[in-house]
Amino acid sequence: MDFAVAFHRDAYRQGPGSDESTLQALKAVPDWTGVKSILDLGCGTGAQTMVLAMHTNAQITAVDVLPEFLEELEERARRMQVGGRVTPLLESFDELTVEPGSFELVWSEGSIYHLGFTRGLEYWKQFIAPGGHLVVSDLCWTTDERPAEIVEFWTEAYPEIATVEQKLAVIEASGYEVVDWFELPQSAWTDNYYEPIRARSPKFIEDYGKDPAAVEFVQMGLEEANLFDRFGEFYGYVFFVVKPVSTVSLTTDSL
């Protein structure tokens, strides 16, 4: 039983985030109103996809590995009357078949951790059109010192968690220039993710007849929510708006 699909399919978001933060990141992209092609990687059921569709005229390719999530995304797009501009694509975003260099904006909201920050930056660069941008959010430490308990938890859960400064260094080393970055508010975790998880959990356990595996799955989510209540000041998601560094070939005239 894939409890994650059953539990999160009807949720507005499958991870921390907010429509306001998505829009803020979009507006940090230079000439964002003119973007015509977007690759949304790890789209889930499409919360951020719909924000991108409603605020641009772009054709959006929305990629996820879960067909159930893409079905929900298609239904959302139909209801919001943007279905003609949103194309679901069922495949892994570390084995993409889309044309390299064909997207003015590559978007990854809370999903790069599946590949790892460095690998995602390096692999996805090939799909950015000349002059295009990558927008990615990732988990970061937001203080210089943290309690050992939360360090142990996130180091095990996501070994590439690092400070914003360390992430910026990785971005630069991966051949990008930073346009902007900002931290998501704590409400993006509590109001839009953890509180809905708490609200859904009792019914989910009942629906599965208190199956021990279902109970264990729910308890893992609740434990993470409780940790955020206690330690949320020490970490958070950070949006990075970046663009590949242009390389200029030297000629004999420029030497």
Question: Along the 255 residues of the chain, how does pLDDT read in single tens digits?
Answer: 488 899 998 889 999 999 999 999 999 999 999 999 999 999 999 999 999 999 999 999 999 999 999 999 999 999 999 999 999 999 998 999 999 999 999 999 999 999 999 999 999 999 999 999 999 999 999 999 999 999 999 999 999 999 999 999 999 999 999 999 999 999 999 999 999 999 999 999 999 988 999 999 999 999 999 999 999 999 999 999 999 997 433 333 434
Token output for 4: 């994650």
Q: For the chain, report the end-to-end CA distance as a whole number of angstroms.
A: 64
The residues pairing with 180 across neighbouring beta strands, listed in sequence order, are: 241
The residue behind tokens 């200029």 is: 248
Nearby residues of 159 by Cβ (< 8 Å), 6 or more positions away: none
CA atoms within 13 A on the CB side of 100: 5
Q: What is the pTM of this model?
A: 0.92
Report yes or no: 234 and 224 within 8 Å, Cβ to Cβ: no
The residue behind tokens 């595996």 is: 213
